[in-house]
Amino acid sequence: MRKRFFLSLIFVLLIYHFSFIIPNSSIANAIEVGGHLTEDTTWGPENNPYLVTSGLYVDAGVTLTILPGTIFKFYADYYDDIGDDQFYFHNGVEPVAKFMRVEGRIIAEGTEQDSIIFTRMQDEEYYHWGTIYLPEGADISSFKHCVFEFAAFTGFSLSEQPRAAISMWNGSGKVVNCSFIDNDRAISIERNVTDILVINNYFDYFEYPHPNIINVSGMFFFLIRYIFNVDTGTPLITGNIFKHGTAINSSKSIYFVDNSIESVAFNRKALSITSDYGRSYFFNNIFGSCSIGIDSNSIGEDSLYIKNNYFTTNGGDGINIDDAYVEVSDNYFEGCKVSLTGCNGNSIFMRNSINDASSNALSGIIKVISDNIIKNSVIGLSGCGNELFSNNVFINNEYIFSSVTDNHIIQNMILIFNDELYNNYLYGNPIFRNCILDFELPPECIEGGGNIWVDSLQAQTLFVDIQNGDFHLIESSLAIDAGFDTLGYYYPFDMDYNHRVWDGDNNGTAIIDIGPYEFGSQAFGGIEGYTYNPTTGDPVDYVLIKINNEPGEFTFSDSIGNFEYKLPAGIYDVYAERVFYENVIEYQVEVFDGQFTQIAISMTEIVDVEENTIIPLANNFNLSNYPNPFNPETTISFNLPAEDAEDIEIIIYNIKGQKVKVFTFPNRGLGTRCVVWNGKDSNNKEVASGIYFYKLIVGDYSKTKKMLLLK
């Protein structure tokens, strides 16, 4: 190894004497690059490929712009251990495996048709290049439609050993629509986080790194490490596809939304979170085959909110949480279990379904266990709900409980077709009340009243389709209006977010039903809306929406800015936040029963990555409409501040972003202009009541505002 390193070093020193390497005409259709970029530089595909045969430095204050279709090939070396000499600086001599160190910034934005490629020069097994390293103090960089292959790490010093294709130690940047293939790690963030956006990327392995690398540190796509306690942001990781390897290993809170983890090789965890503080959100993800879906050994004041996810983990843990507050709601677990054993009895487990767990489907002393379905598992529950244990279905399990204690108050439950009540011990005198049972209670258990005993035929008539797992109640079900604690119930909604207490048998008295669904009850209303950029009119995707700033009352807007949240009638404040945008509060939003109130949330962008500056206020065209709200028409007006203004358009959109009407102003001249919109679309049909947007376009300038049509 030392001989190979010495020969490679001689080769590098003989060829490169200058701080910036000029094209080498002896290499056909290629340009050799390295050294320091001291002024803004643009590289494009006309000189492909760019051969990085010496360390490439983008100096402070300098921007390297890389155009679509550009290809970079880094000199690589054999990589079988992170201690390999050829990846380290020694006595000021750079490593054999080359790298890019960016004190300024990179704008590397390809297109879907023409990606920018960063790969190795030598196409040999176990050969890797270094890293693209953005140290602390570097400007915000942007990577779009790029491909990163065969990156490893570069040891600059004992304290600087960035290890990933992109090492964002500056704590801020965007990685969008990129592919990461066969890297030791894809992205590492090992300093303070301000604004990190990782969206719609693809992560996979085809040629695996050397086995020694796997044994040393595992296969990480991300390493987000919290160090100095001055973080101001939370990374938003959304819309990505992960294959083969740990998706996230983080000691920082994260927002993880709409991702797909299709498989995790080597029996590893999909996500490992060890944050000491902060809130992490996991929403609408798919967790495929892995040993553990979400694993947390958090300490201190960390909290996790896990909602609307699908887990399947080869018989392992869908979720394994130790010593953190957690709310788990509206998830589906197939062939895996949930362990909340270290959560100190304060967490919430609601409206989830667990099927076919190979051991304890749910374990832990938990504050609330309500409105869940646990079926076809070895043991339904090891633990209890210490404040509320109610309205669950346990069906077709070998054992309902691992053990039962007098801490259990078991109410409004459907416990049928299970083999045994418990498999270990029965402690004290647990209370059963208002449950549906197909077995006799042991003499130690207290019959608290209201229980209904059924045989196998009667049990078949409780639900819409028991064979296929539809546990909604049928009209004649014995569970209707048969529950306990009708007044002041803990949560006012069932598993479908319908009213929890309802007069299902129409006898004039509303009583809670047994089980997770309320028969015949009315659906809640709620808030539906749209998050958008007022300057461009474009949707802002994946905005965190919180009701009354309660962290557990949340959703995210989707990829086109739409969101919906079901709520009881009332007045609410709606909070919205996202990286690279100002936080927003919409006050006093009124919700009526059975109706959705429409709101549009204007998100103001605060950082322009391409310019690396705070975005200034746009030119003031005094755009407005009156009246607002209006019926049946409103006047949209604006001021034209220059005589040489370009052609002008006003476009009206509905809350889904669909174009409704277009007005054009081909003539020029300064002054105030106006147009009357009569509430009709381009086909002269009347539109429905609701929120609409009107967008003014003058040349390259645009601005969007909202208005409300009330009929």
Distance, CA of 208 to CA of 371 (rounded, Å): 44
CATH number at 674 reads: 2.60.40.4070
Query: Which helix (H) or strand (E) segment is 4 a member of?
Result: helix 2-15
Distance, CA of 556 to CA of 543 (rounded, Å): 5
Query: Which helix (H) or strand (E) segment is 458 a member of?
Result: helix 456-459
Using omega within 30 degrees of 0 as the cis cutoff, is the peptide bond preceding 629 cis? yes
Low-confidence ranges of the chain (pLDDT < 50): 1-27, 215-221, 226-231, 613-618
**Helix (DSSP H) and strand (DSSP E) numbers for the chain:** 3, 69
Domain count across the chain: 4
Q: Is residue 29 part of a domain?
A: yes
Distance, CA of 75 to CA of 692 (rounded, Å): 55
Same domain assignment for residues 538 and 639: no
Same domain assignment for residues 464 and 557: no
Place of tokens 């919906």: 564
Which residues form the domain of 143?
1-227
**Which one-letter amino acid corresponds to residue 102?**
V
Q: Is residue 280 part of a domain?
A: no
Q: Is residue 158 part of a domain?
A: yes
Q: Is residue 333 part of a domain?
A: no
How many Cβ atoms from other residues are within 10 Å of residue 703's Cβ?
A: 19
Strands of 247-346 (E only): list them: 248-250, 255-257, 260-263, 269-273, 279-283, 286-289, 292-296, 303-307, 310-312, 317-322, 325-329, 332-334, 337-342
Domain end: 474, 499, 518, which one? 518
Token pair of 614 as six digits: 């705070």
Whether residue 63 contacts residue 107, with contact meaning beta carbons closer than 8 Å, is answered with yes
Q: Which DSSP string do the residues of 327-338 spell out, in sequence order?
A: EEES-EEES-EE
3-state SS class at 265: helix
How many Cβ atoms from other residues are within 10 Å of residue 38's Cβ?
A: 15
Which residues are within 8 A (CB) of 592 and not within 5 positions of it... i.e. 6 or more apart? 525, 569
How many Cβ atoms from other residues are within 10 Å of residue 64's Cβ?
A: 20
Same domain assignment for residues 446 and 396: yes
Place of tokens 């439950």: 413
Distance, CA of 437 to CA of 462 (rounded, Å): 12
Q: Is residue 336 part of a domain?
A: no
**Which one-letter amino acid corresponds to residue 633?**
E
Distance, CA of 580 to CA of 432 (rounded, Å): 52
Place of tokens 């009156």: 626
Q: What 3 state SS string does 115-134 have?
A: CEEEEECCCCCCEEECCEEE
Same domain assignment for residues 602 and 654: no
For 13: left if phi > 0, alpha if psi spans -120 to 50, otherwise beta; the answer is alpha
3-state SS class at 271: strand
**Which one-letter amino acid corresponds to residue 48?**
N
Q: Is residue 33 part of a domain?
A: yes
Q: In this structure, is the dihedral angle defined by the CA atoms of residues 18, 19, 25 and 26, taken in order, positive or negative?
A: positive
Q: From residue 147, give the alpha-carbon distance in Å to each of 105, 165, 176, 625.
A: 18, 10, 11, 46
**Which one-letter amino acid corresponds to residue 346?**
N
Q: Which DSSP string do the residues of 351-420 spell out, in sequence order?
A: S-EEE--SSEEEEEEEEEEES-EEES-SEEEEEEEEEEEES-EEES-SEEES-B-TT-EEES-EEES-SE
Same domain assignment for residues 627 and 581: no
What pLDDT is stored for residue 80 in this prediction? 85
CATH number at 576 reads: 2.60.40.1120
Distance, CA of 525 to CA of 597 (rounded, Å): 8
Q: From residue 355, give the alpha-carbon distance in Å to each of 53, 251, 293, 358, 456.
A: 55, 31, 16, 9, 21
Same domain assignment for residues 434 and 546: no
Distance, CA of 435 to CA of 702 (rounded, Å): 61
The length of the chain in residues reads: 711
Q: Is residue 272 part of a domain?
A: no
Domain end: 227, 248, 270, which one? 227
Same domain assignment for residues 371 and 454: yes
Query: What is the Cα Rg of the chain in Å?
Result: 30
Helices assigned H by DSSP within 177-304: 211-217
Q: From residue 653, give the alpha-carbon distance in Å to each of 514, 561, 707.
A: 45, 13, 10
Domain end: 195, 227, 259, which one? 227
Same domain assignment for residues 467 and 594: no
Same domain assignment for residues 429 and 538: no
Same domain assignment for residues 496 and 534: no
Q: Rounded to two decimals, what is the model's pTM?
A: 0.85
Strands of 21-130 (E only): list them: 31-37, 41-43, 50-58, 63-66, 71-74, 77-78, 100-102, 105-109, 116-120, 127-128
Same domain assignment for residues 455 and 566: no
Q: Is residue 460 part of a domain?
A: yes
Same domain assignment for residues 464 and 541: no
Phi, psi of 466, rounded to the nearest 5 degrees: -65, -35
For 391: left if phi > 0, alpha if psi spans -120 to 50, otherwise beta; the answer is left
